[in-house]
Structure 1
């Protein structure tokens, strides 16, 4: 491949990064005498300033594809059957149960698909964001989550974001048309003082959301979940619930907050009033040891979904996550159990 072909194959962001590293190299060479007099924070500031300048054009010309609208929210369906996907982090659905969700979106447009994410996925970064970034890393993850689900829906509907009140607390709701609904609790993730897992084991009494710093006890989370589920199930005859397998015997090595999320939900499962309901568990981290089992279009969409997520992180100035660590789960989907009732 020629030098010209290499350059023309690069994305605008990659080209801007090349300029950034060139400028960085020239700066280090020309002002090497100055470096001993600059502390680390000043060096990092200058490097961030150069990066901001040379990626500004790319970020301005590449607006987010979520297109959150302030127009009236689409009228929600009163569907005979609803599906609820309840997970801990914004990308858990895409990684571990994406095929199931996508096929329901495409094949069951008359039924509602409700995606509920408990944590913001901030990994203890909270509201901190890198210098010159417009949004935080966790917000970029959330936008990537919305983009992925919109992609499964063939981008047929604009995302409508609104703030609602559930159990006396503010919460973010995103709709994609009338049948796809996303609820984001935005609870802190991997915080040093509290977590979903700590709530389960009573090592802490409360956890907070990042958007409004509202306190939730475990019971508050469960009450909020029940309120959402009962509201969405008005008029429904049946409902299916998709969660991450909470058993370390079947699903060894899983994230503690994956397990905690499923346990929090399973404790209220029998209280859900819809009569015909089913519960479906999926393997998570453990599938890194398993072979890629998706084929054809399902396999292609799995990899494309993760590229879209990585692109959105990069567009907002954060590291892509299509790295070997994450890619060991892409292209796979393993259901571990399906039950109708709980004792």
Structure 2
């Protein structure tokens, strides 16, 4: 199925050049002239697969967006003792942690009350913190294989992207997307809200090449497909494609101080769950991804 999808959307790459495989952090310029957008299908993805690049972007005083497409609710919606809010809290913990250790000094305290930002008629939760902003679209978790959950009428981002289902609602009923085009318009407008003309733009997304990134979650892959379409409107943008689930079998390549930062980021993410009374994800299964970051880089003409 993934091979067929890749063939179907091959034209997305007609204006993109693939650069050699990399395993080291590369977001290291010492200015604030760039915009880095980290696309996270679930509220704990970027911490495990896109760090320490996330830290380096923050350290460089780049403007940084963390856009979470689904609630990662595992079929609970807004129920089950605020599981969705707990996962969001973990991501917000991680963002504050990275900002405050990157720049030292006094923090600003918690993110505070969420802003309800309206983009293309859609209400989206946003949490600004210094030079970062976290967005939570709260689309339904699609399950690992894209089959969806009963609570969401078995709808998923994959089925929505392929046109197999219509009218995708957020888990909190704050917004409804009529079709893929509607969602793409919203994502493009969100990026354009922050992107300045001439500003270097980087998208950080899951690798959709099944050979480099086998066995990935459906939500990861189809969040990436969406952003690859969005990127076509931003000539000169860079795309970073990350190896995700299967990277836990690769050698550890993040060492020293960078490893401590990555481990700390995951620790405060896991705390978001325990603060809401859920089991911690600080365990051998999840921790196997800490200290590993593999990605390739492309550029849009």
Tell me the equivalent position of 1:69.
Answer: none
Unmatched tracts of structure 1, length 5 or more:
1-78, 131-135
Kept in 2, the 8 Å contact 1:87–1:243? The answer is yes
Task: Go from structure 1 to structure 2 and tell me whether the alpha carbon gap of 1:262 and 1:229 turns closer, same or farther (over 3 Å shift).
Answer: same
Structure 2 counterparts to residues 41-120 of structure 1, below 5 A: 80-106=33-59, 108-109=60-61, 111-120=62-71
Out of 99, 106, 113, the position equivalent to 1:153 is 99
CA root-mean-square deviation: 1.6
TM-score (norm 1): 0.70
Kept in 1, the 8 Å contact 2:206–2:242? The answer is yes
Q: What is the CA–CA distance in structure 1 between the aligned matches of 2:128 and 2:160, rounded to whole Å? A: 29
Q: What is the CA–CA distance in structure 1 between the aligned matches of 2:108 and 2:251, rounded to whole Å? A: 34
Out of 279, 287, 292, the position equivalent to 1:319 is 279
Out of 185, 188, 198, the position equivalent to 2:140 is 188
Greater Rg over alpha carbons, structure: 1
Tell me the equivalent position of 1:133.
Answer: none
Kept in 2, the 8 Å contact 1:194–1:206? The answer is no
SS at match of 2:219: helix
Shift of 1:264: 1.0
Q: What is the CA–CA distance in structure 2 between the aligned matches of 1:129 and 1:279, rounded to whole Å? A: 36
Kept in 1, the 8 Å contact 2:77–2:172? The answer is no
Kept in 2, the 8 Å contact 1:242–1:281? The answer is yes
Kept in 2, the 8 Å contact 1:120–1:186? The answer is yes
Shift of 1:237: 2.4
Tell me the equivalent position of 1:267.
Answer: 229
Kept in 1, the 8 Å contact 2:58–2:99? The answer is yes
Unmatched tracts of structure 2, length 5 or more:
1-31, 102-106, 143-147
Kept in 2, the 8 Å contact 1:81–1:236? The answer is no
Q: What is the CA–CA distance in structure 1 between the aligned matches of 2:272 and 2:193, rounded to whole Å? A: 32
Larger relative contact order (C-alpha < 8 A, sep ≥ 6)? Answer: 2
Out of 156, 160, 171, the position equivalent to 1:210 is 171
Tell me the equivalent position of 2:218.
Answer: 256
Deviations 1:248-282 (A, max 9, x none): 1211011011111000111221123xx43211101
SS at match of 1:318: coil
Q: What is the CA–CA distance in structure 2 between the aligned matches of 1:324 and 1:237, rounded to whole Å? A: 40
Kept in 2, the 8 Å contact 1:115–1:183? The answer is yes
Instruction: Please say if 1:143 is aligned against 2:89.
Output: yes
Tell me the equivalent position of 2:24.
Answer: none
Instruction: Please say if 1:129 is aligned against 2:80.
Output: yes
Shift of 1:234: 2.8
Q: What is the CA–CA distance in structure 2 between the aligned matches of 1:308 and 1:268, rounded to whole Å? A: 31
The aligned length equals 253
Tell me the equivalent position of 2:5.
Answer: none
Tell me the equivalent position of 2:297.
Answer: 338
Which portions of structure 1, spanning 4 or more consecutive aligned residues, are displaced by more than 2 angstroms? 155-158, 200-203, 211-214, 234-237
Kept in 2, the 8 Å contact 1:247–1:259? The answer is no
Out of 206, 209, 219, the position equivalent to 1:244 is 206
Kept in 1, the 8 Å contact 2:231–2:237? The answer is no
